């Protein structure tokens, strides 16, 4: 269960090197400047990280795609969480096409998403529909030859920089349906970029859909199947969010440990004070436990087994871990931890997002509870 083959090891090793040598040195600046870095996204395309979930013919992985997706995210997140988020958004965005896209759609868009290096957004959340996805109001009215989309999408990651998006709207049947959207289409209006606590190098933007006409062939899968696709999308990407959180936790824990073996108070290394030693022990324990959950959630996804419960467990546990470990890391660095000369305050700000997005942790617990009850043959509603 815990083995990787040699080509997988090789891939990870190269991702690790790139993260350490190229991404990590840029991370503080990416955070400070708070602008999306196209060069970083290009580099992720270059090494194939944004294509992992595409079919192998388009640069995707033959096997273990969810596991490798997670392990790569973790490595990049250790260097820069904002950069790592691209893997998740790109995968969430292209997933409906991979799962439910027609042959024509796949032949049209997959080349653009691989050699074409186009970014694809994932537009589900709305002002009135966050946790409650089923409440979404954006409409896709059937008209002659296609659909007309209307609505407001919130918090669209890469919303200002993507050229494509998977957008979820309510169709006339009352159900939810995915559409593939060219962002240049008339009526697609990008709002302002959000100013955030963390993930400052990630672009988050509102997108307005104002009478956007889409030809019929832009519908992805069948009408009314959007919600199901979105849930399967979560099964694949939530382990990735867990890995994002794990990478942040590891980065914070590493920085704290490096500091704690150097800094001395009261004639001891910090790490020789029990209060600090125990924080280190707790951090490493949670990180290992989180890694175990991610591997299981990802392995099951790769083997086509239902992984909803494990995916939510991994997401919830790893993000809670990230917030605690990063907070402790700031604490271990004392006054220095609070200042921007050291990376831990950034890890702390970044960590908080992982408890909120891709389903807030309250929603993860609802899902976990429901799945447990289902497994027990009880009603989970």
Partner 1 sequence: MIPLNDEQEMVLNTVRDVVRDRIAPRAAEIDSKDEFPWDIVEVYAQNGLLAPLLPEQYGGIGAEYLLFAMIIEEISKASPSAALILIAQADGFLPIHSRGSDILKETYLPRLASGSLSAFAATEPGAGSDILSMKTRAVPNGDHYVLDGRKCFITNGSIADVITVFAYTNPARKAKGMSAFVVEKGSAGLAYGKNEDKMGMRGSVNSELIFEALAVPVQNRVGEEGEGFANMMETLDGSRLFAASQAVGLAQGAVDEAVGYARERVQFGGPIASLQAIQFMVADMVAYTEAARMLTYRAARLLDEGKKRQITRFCAMAKFVASDTAMKVTTDAVQVLGGYGYMKDFPVERMMRDAKLIQLYTGTNQIMRLVAGRDIFRGD
The sign of the CA dihedral 227, 232, 235, 241 is negative
For 72, half-sphere exposure in the C-beta direction (CA atoms, 13 angstrom radius) is 29
Which residue among 182, 358, 371, 376 is the active-site one? 358
185, interface contact from ligand FAD, partner 1, none, CB < 5-8 Å by kind: none
Q: For residues 105, 108, 110 and 116, what is the CA-based torsion angle, rounded to 10 degrees?
A: -150
For the bound state, the minimum distance from the C-beta of residue 41 to ligand FAD, rounded and expressed in Å, comes to 15
Residue 193 touching ligand FAD (CB under 6 A): no
The DSSP bridge pattern shows strands 139-143 and 164-171 to be: parallel
236 neighbors 312 (Cβ within 8 angstroms): no
| Of the candidates 77, 76, 88, 152, the residue with the CA atom closest to the CA atom of residue 119 | 88
Residue 90 touching ligand FAD (CB under 6 A): no
358, interface contact from partner 1, ligand FAD, none, CB < 5-8 Å by kind: ligand FAD
Residue 354 touching ligand FAD (CB under 6 A): no
Closest to partner 1 by CB, 1 vs 275, is: 275
Residue 36 touching ligand FAD (CB under 6 A): no
For the bound state, the minimum distance from the C-beta of residue 348 to partner 1, rounded and expressed in Å, comes to 7
For the bound state, the minimum distance from the C-beta of residue 356 to partner 1, rounded and expressed in Å, comes to 6
Tallying the residues shown for the chain, one arrives at: 381
The DSSP bridge pattern shows strands 264-265 and 176-182 to be: unpaired
* 358 carries an active-site annotation: yes
Report the C-alpha gap between 93 and 136 in whole angstroms.
18
Residue 49 touching ligand FAD (CB under 6 A): no
* Of the residues 56, 116, 145, 334, which one makes contact with partner 1 according to CB under 8 A: 334
Show contacts with ligand FAD in window 155-174 (CB under 6 A): 155-157
Binding pattern for the stretch 254-293 against partner 1, x by CB under 8 A and - elsewhere: ----------xxx------x-xx-----------------
For 335, half-sphere exposure in the C-beta direction (CA atoms, 13 angstrom radius) is 0
Rg of the chain, C-alpha, whole Å: 21
Residue 349 touching partner 1 (CB under 8 A): yes
| Of the candidates 265, 267, 169, the residue with the CA atom closest to the CA atom of residue 218 | 169
Any residues with CB less than 8 A from the CB of 199 and at least 6 apart, and which? 81, 82, 85, 350, 353
Choices 65-73, 211-219, 301-309, 328-336 (CB under 8 A): range interacting with partner 1? 328-336
Residue 353 touching ligand FAD (CB under 6 A): yes
Report the C-alpha gap between 156 and 63 in whole angstroms.
30
Closest to ligand FAD by CB, 14 vs 163, is: 163
198, interface contact from ligand FAD, partner 1, none, CB < 5-8 Å by kind: partner 1
Residues forming the active site: 358
């Amino acid at each position: 269960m815990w083995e990787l083959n040699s080509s997988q090891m090789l891939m990870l090793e190269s991702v690790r090197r790139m993260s350490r040598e190229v991404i990590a040195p840029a991370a503080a600046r990416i955070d400070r400047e708070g602008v999306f870095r196209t060069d970083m996204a290009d580099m992720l395309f270059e090494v194939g990280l944004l294509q992992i979930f595409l079919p192998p013919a388009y640069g995707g992985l033959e096997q273990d795609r969810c596991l490798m997706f997670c392990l790569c995210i973790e490595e990049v997140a250790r260097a820069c969480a904002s950069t790592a988020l691209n893997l998740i958004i790109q995968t969430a965005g292209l997933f409906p096409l991979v799962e439910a896209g027609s042959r024509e759609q796949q032949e049209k868009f997959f080349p653009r998403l691989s050699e074409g290096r186009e970014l694809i957004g994932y537009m589900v959340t709305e002002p009135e529909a966050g946790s409650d996805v089923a409440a979404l109001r954006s409409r896709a009215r059937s008209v002659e030859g296609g659909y007309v989309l209307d609505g407001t999408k919130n918090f669209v990651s890469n919303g200002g920089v993507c050229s494509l998006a998977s957008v979820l709207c309510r169709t006339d049947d009352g159900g939810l349906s995915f559409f593939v959207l060219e962002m240049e289409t008339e009526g697609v209006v990008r709002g302002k970029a959000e100013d955030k606590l963390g993930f400052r190098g990630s672009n988050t933007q509102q997108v307005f859909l104002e009478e956007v006409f889409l030809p019929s062939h832009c519908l992805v899968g069948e009408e009314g199947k959007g919600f199901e696709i979105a849930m399967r999308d979560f099964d694949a990407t939530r382990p990735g969010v867990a890995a994002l959180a794990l990478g942040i936790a590891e980065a914070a824990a590493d920085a704290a440990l490096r500091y704690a073996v150097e800094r001395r108070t009261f004639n001891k290394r910090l790490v020789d004070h029990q209060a600090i030693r125990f924080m280190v022990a707790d951090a490493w324990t949670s990180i290992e436990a989180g890694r175990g959950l991610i591997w299981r959630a990802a392995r099951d996804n790769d083997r086509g087994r239902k992984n909803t419960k494990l995916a939510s467990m991994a997401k919830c546990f790893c993000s809670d871990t990230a917030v605690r470990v990063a907070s402790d890391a700031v604490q271990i660095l004392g006054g220095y931890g609070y200042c921007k000369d050291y990376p831990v305050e950034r890890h702390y700000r970044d960590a908080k997002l992982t408890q909120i997005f891709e389903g807030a942790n309250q929603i993860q617990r609802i899902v976990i509870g429901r799945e447990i009850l289902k497994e027990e043959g009880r009603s989970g509603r």
